[in-house]
Amino acid sequence: MTGHDKPTVDHLGRPTNEAGKELRATGHDPSERTFLEAAAQWFDERTGTAHLVRTTLRKVFPDHWSFLLGEVALFCFVILLATGTFLTFFFVPSGQPVIYQGSYEPLQGAPVSAAYDSVMNLSFEVRAGLLMRQVHHWTAVIFVAVIVTHLARAFFTGAFRRPRELNWILGFGLLLFALAEGITGYSLPDDLLSGTGARIFYSAAISIPFVGPYIASLVFGGEFPTTAFISRFFVLHVMLLPGIFIVTIAAHVGLVFLQKHTQYRGPLQREDNVVGRHFWPGQAFLSAGLFFLTAAVMSVIGGLVQINPIWSYGPFEPSVVSSPAQPDWYVGWLDGALRIWPSFEPTILGITLPSVFLPGIVLPGVLFTIVALWPWIDRRLTGDRGVHHLLDWPWEQPVRAAAGAAILTVFAVLTLAGGNDVIAVFLDLRVETLTVIFQILVIMLPIVVAILTYLLCRARLRRPAPDELAPRDATSGDSAGGGGAHGPRHAGVALRRTADGGFEEVEA
Amino acid sequence: MSDVRDPRIPEPATRDARPVSPLGPITRRRERRGERIVLASFGVTMLTGLLLLILYALGGQTQLEGILLALCLGGLGVGIVIWAQELMSGEIRIEERHPIGSGTAEVEELQEALVDEEGFTRRRALQVGLIGAVGGLASALAIPVLSLGPAPGRSLFQTPWKAGMRVVDGEGLPVRAADIPLDGVLTVFPEGFVGNAEAQTLLINAGADRLQLRPDQAQYAPDGFIALSKVCTHAGCPVGLYRAAQGQLICPCHQSTFDVLHGAVPTFGPAARPLPQLPIQRDGDGFIALGDFPEPVGPSFWDMYLGPMVIGEGDATPAPSGSGGTSG
């Protein structure tokens, strides 16, 4: 690969230079370079980064399915940028009233906003526009779910511990930005459902004591409904938030790169090494393939499953509301908190604490603060301040697992409560009864789940961890893809790590 | 950065014979089969990409587009993943992990570099002044932020309803008592403000004998007609559902329930305030308003009982019809 000379031979066919010797020995002509080799040289002569790029290509990535969740989230973001850019070319961010004259007959002649009109145009007139819109919306919905799953993985395996507290905060920021993107994007089509959602956010904003009415007025440009808020949300949705997003993703991924990925415990894995596959080409190909597979799943869902059919909701009118009104799933818990919070609105010294303030502002604030500060809370609970690159199995810290399960349960119960009217119809219960049930569940269920999780973890601790069963048979490379989580691959025999670091075969 | 083989682990027995992919040793047979699958997958991508173009040219069809695009992307994805998993080396690599910190000496040098400029570190007064200057700059930068919206002023305390305004329906036509049967509900607006978000009001024919109002409320509910703000006092949704049999208004957003017969007091759900009652009186066969709502409509805010704090008169008077965005 180094020699650029043509191989030469003398009249007897004996090689006369290094290249000739190599050609004779290996049958490979070293002066013939592939395109990639030529490109590498071209690039290095202009940047001097050969060493840097090589070490990057040779970086080792631990191979476990749960480490792909973050990648899928990143791929969702790329799909959102791509489809969103397409939508931007057609969307009109304006609340100005126009008369709908498109091809959807039931609404012809109806006064709608220019924003609604443009989304109708995207859905009915622009070819492949509906596909792009639905892929965008579905990807957004799945994006948040993948982020939450990724966050839960990092939580339960203790990936946030020293030295990764900073990356936990960055990841938490990404979750917040994703929620903000979802909420601003959801409001843009200016249909009946999104308008109602924006109305509720406005009400939550004005509920903040002392500053609420000012904040709400600054954000919405006056008293709701304003014609300003669509163009404002648009700028937030397509410019400010994506900009912050890209910078934060770069920092998040950059830190993983600098700190090297965590790994599950296994026969080879130690605190001072990384066991896995080279980034290039294996891991890079796997990731590229995963990107296209993610995009394929989004395409088929976006093509076949209708989402946010704004023509059947109709344009936003402040005096009309549809029932049942369901938001996108990731704000369901906020709506659920508003629904089941008891009627409570004290006025002390003339100052009113609006009923929306505690469930709509304080509760989410408290829950999110707990999640954001978890690396430091965890330190208090476990007393562990050490540096960790090997992950915990989820049951190894029963208190952490119990707390995490309890927090997830709170969100889950609130999300279900956000659909209490639908569930009431489904279960043939009165909404009033169901609301009381949810009020009890949101207190009791997290406690029950926490205790159960704790007990299950303690029980699991009595059995050996997967890495102690030595699932990896290093002689065949057979289980390189799986990490240790799946137990022994070969029935009958497993390797057990002994106290002195060696291995012994045991009957599994 | 070098790859270190763990000395405790024996060299893979098959290493010299043939490379090992993540899914097992790469045998001839396996190689051929893998190549065929990858090529077939890429073929699917080529074919469906072409079909997608043809479909588009023919006019397009959302569901088919979705399926073809998924096959097009999926073929590429499956091909690349199988290529990586079946035909590329899956050898386990071990890379050393060095401590992340740079070490005490490096950090100390950095700290020195940060503070060795005495012209900076010794000028305490200037440092304090700098912080003050940054604060000043911040308040200057608040100006464009404050321009983003008017000061709330009186706007949250009032609606377009004024004494003498005629009660009209969603079409702008004067409401006649005969249009609303017993237990009937109609969304009404002040004349000239049809569709206005704050002024939207429910006119309910609850029946004079069923209404059990305080005298001050009853005097504004002529002939059993009561006019209530349609904006929920919880989160501001339109209170859209009327259960005539129980005389209950229900907000579809969070299920706040109001007892119309007793002056719209909340009986269930998160709302804590009654829906404000609009003072109206009969005027021929229609209705006119006797003034604005006696208290703020819609969701509560901190100074609603203190009265408006007006710093410089904002644009408090709502513009005539049309201010409500897409007013119908």
Strands (E), chain B: 20-21, 24-25, 93-96, 167-168, 185-190, 201-205, 225-229, 241-243, 248-250, 257-259, 265-268, 280-283, 286-289
Asked whether residue A13 is domain-assigned, the answer is no
Q: What is the pLDDT at residue A243?
A: 97
Domain annotation covers residue B296: no
What is the per-residue DSSP string for A436-482? HHHHHHHHHHHHHHHHHHHHHHHHHHTSPPGGGG----TTTTTTTTT
- Verify whether the Cβ–Cβ distance B235 to A213 is below 8 Å: no
Q: Is residue A153 part of a domain?
A: yes
Q: Which residues of A touch B24 (CB under 8 A)?
A: 476-478
Mutation target among B62, B188, B310 for the A interface, most CBs of A within 10 A:
B62
Domain identity same for B160 and B278: yes
Q: Are strands B265-268 and B257-259 parallel, antiparallel or unpaired?
A: antiparallel
The answer, yes or no, to whether residue A365 has pLDDT greater than 50, is: yes
Is A364 in the same domain as A481? no
Q: Which of B69, B266, B299 sits opposite A206 (nearest CB)?
A: B299
A474/B contact by beta carbon, under 8 A: yes
With a cut of 70, say whether residue A493 has pLDDT above it: no
Distance from CA of A61 to the nearest CA of B (A): 9
Within 145-184 of A, beta carbons closer than 8 Å to B belong to 163
- The residue whose two tokens read 């792009």 is A132
Please tell me the predicted confidence (pLDDT) of residue B153.
84
Residues B198 and B261 reside in one and the same domain:
yes
Q: Which of A9, A34, A57 is the last residue of a domain?
A: A57
Q: What is the pLDDT of residue B5?
A: 52
Pick from A78, A238, A69, A70: which is nearest to A170 by CA?
A: A70
Q: Do A480 and B92 touch (CB under 8 A)?
A: yes
Flag whether the ipTM exceeds 0.90. Answer: no
| Same-domain check for residues A363 and A478 | no
User: Which of B90, B95, B328 is opposite residue A111, by nearest beta carbon?
Assistant: B328
Gap between the Cα atoms of B35 and B6, Å rounded: 32
Domain count, chain B: 3
Angle in degrees, CA B265, B270, B276, rounded to 5? 35
A82 lies in some domain: yes
Residues B86 and B114 in one domain: no
pLDDT at residue B30 in the model: 86
| A276–B contact, CB cutoff 8 A | yes
Helix (H/G/I), strand (E/B), else coil: A183:
helix
> How many domains does chain A contain in total?
3
Judged against a pLDDT cut of 50, whether residue A475 lies above it is answered with no
Is residue A29 predicted with pLDDT exceeding 80? no
Tell me which residue in B59, B252, B325 faces A95 most closely, judged by beta carbons.
B325
The answer on B113 and B12 residing in a single domain is no
pLDDT tens figures, A258-277: 999 999 999 899 999 999 98
Cβ-based contacts of A219 with chain B (< 8 Å)? 148-149
Shortest distance between the Cα of A389 and any Cα of chain B, in A, equals 9
Question: Rounded to an integer, what distance in angstroms lies between the CA atom of residue A174 and that of residue A151?
Answer: 10
The domain of A44 spans: 18-57
State the nearest Cα–Cα gap between B119 and chain A, in angstroms: 33
Q: Are residues B283 and B161 in the same domain?
A: yes
Q: Nearest chain A residue to B201 by CA: give it.
A: A319
Note whether A270 and A379 are same-domain residues: yes
Q: What is the pLDDT of residues A377-405, one digit of tens each?
A: 999 998 999 999 999 999 999 999 999 99
CB–CB contact B92 A275 (8 Å): yes
B140 and B162 housed in the same domain: no
pLDDT for the residue B310:
62
Q: Which residues fall within 8 angstroms of residue A67, CB to CB, at 6 or more apart?
A: A61, A261
Cβ(A91)–Cβ(A188) below 8 Å: yes
- A483 and A423 in a common domain: no
Nearest CA in chain A to B170: A319
Average pLDDT over residues A177-206: 94
Please give the pLDDT value at position B18: 66
Yes or no, beta carbons of B80 and A285 under 8 Å apart: yes
* Closest by Cα among A145, A128, A141 to A303: A128
Contact call for B83 and A289, based on CB within 8 A = yes
Question: What CATH number does the domain containing B248 carry?
Answer: 2.102.10.10
Residues 375-434 of A with CB under 8 A from B: 387, 389, 420-421, 431-432
- For residue B56, tell me if it sits in a domain: yes
Residue-range definition of the domain harbouring residue B271: 156-289
Task: State yes or no: pLDDT of A482 exceeds 50.
Answer: no
User: Which residue in A has a C-alpha nearest to residue B187's C-alpha?
Assistant: A319
Are B197 and B92 found together in one domain?
no
Give the burial string for A399-432 (b: 16+ CB within 10 Å, else e). Answer: ebbbbbbbbbbbbbbbbbbbbbbebbeeeeeebe
Residue with the two structure tokens 């005027």: B283
DSSP B148: T
Q: Examine the domain organization and report whether A374 and A472 are in the same domain.
A: no
Alpha-carbon B76 to chain mean position:
36
- B190 and B283, same domain (yes or no): yes
Q: Which residues of B touch A206 (CB under 8 A)?
A: 156, 299, 301
Q: What is the pLDDT along chain B (328 residues), one digit of tens a residue?
A: 445 555 555 455 444 456 788 887 888 888 899 999 999 999 999 999 999 999 999 998 999 999 999 999 999 999 999 999 988 888 888 999 988 889 999 999 999 998 888 888 888 999 999 999 999 999 999 899 999 999 888 889 999 999 999 999 999 999 999 999 999 999 999 999 999 999 999 999 999 999 999 999 999 999 999 999 999 999 999 998 999 999 999 999 999 999 999 999 999 999 999 999 999 999 999 999 999 999 999 999 999 998 876 655 444 444 444 333 333 3
Question: Which residue of chain A is at minimal alpha-carbon distance from B90?
Answer: A277
Tell which of B46, B186, B300, B310 to mutate to test the A interface (max A CBs under 10 Å): B300
Nearest CA of chain B to the CA of A305: how many Å? 9
A266 shares a domain with A172? yes
Same domain, yes or no, for A177 and A36?
Answer: no
Q: Read off the CATH number of the domain in which A349 is found.
A: 1.20.810.10
A9 located within any domain:
no
Shared-domain flag, residues A222 and A366? yes
Going by pLDDT thresholds of 50, 70 and 90, the confidence category of residue A438 is very high
pTM attached to this predicted model: 0.88
The per-residue b/e assignment along A222-246, b for 16 or more CB within 10 angstroms, e otherwise, is: bbbbbbbbbbbbbebbbeebbebbe
Contact criterion met (CB < 8 Å) for B235 and A127: no
Token look-up 């012809």 returns: A108
Q: Is A254 on the interface with B (CB under 8 A)?
A: no
Same domain, B88 and B6: yes
pLDDT score recorded for residue B9: 53
How many A×B Cβ pairs under 8 Å? 354
Query: Contact A217/B151, CB-based, under 8 Å?
Result: yes
A8, part of any domain = no
Query: Has residue A487 been placed in a domain?
Result: yes
**CA dihedral of residues A91, A94, A99, A105 (deg, nearest 10):** 30
Q: What is the DSSP string of B18-37?
A: S-EETTEE--HHHHHHHHHH
Q: Which residues pair with B281 in a beta bridge?
A: B288
Residue A65 DSSP label: G
Residues B203 and B131 grouped into a single domain: no
A38-51 per-position pLDDT tens digit? 999 999 999 999 99
Instruction: Name the one residue in this structure whose structure tokens are 């989580």.
Output: A485
Do A456 and A468 reside in the same domain of the chain? no
Token pair, residue B121, equals 């570190």
Distance (Å) of CA A334 to CA A339, A345, A400, A404: 9, 18, 24, 19
Q: Residue for token digits 């919880």?
A: B234
Q: Is residue A42 located within the same domain as residue A157?
A: no
- A interface test, pick of B55, B253, B305 with most A CB neighbours within 10 Å: B253
- Most B-contacting residue of A112, A136, A203 (CB-CB within 10 A), to test interface: A203
Q: Is residue B48 part of a domain?
A: yes
Q: Are residues B142 and B217 in the same domain?
A: no
Decide if A431 and B255 are in contact by the 8 Å CB cutoff: yes
In a domain, B323, yes or no: no
Q: Are residues A128 and A262 in the same domain?
A: yes
Query: Can you give B35-46 as a three-state secondary structure string?
Result: HHHHHHHHHHHH
B64 and B118 inside one domain: no
Contacts A435 to B, Cβ<8 Å: 255, 268-269
The reply to whether residue A289 touches residue B81, judged by beta carbons under 8 angstroms, is yes
Instruction: Examine the domain organization and report whether A94 and A177 are in the same domain.
Output: yes
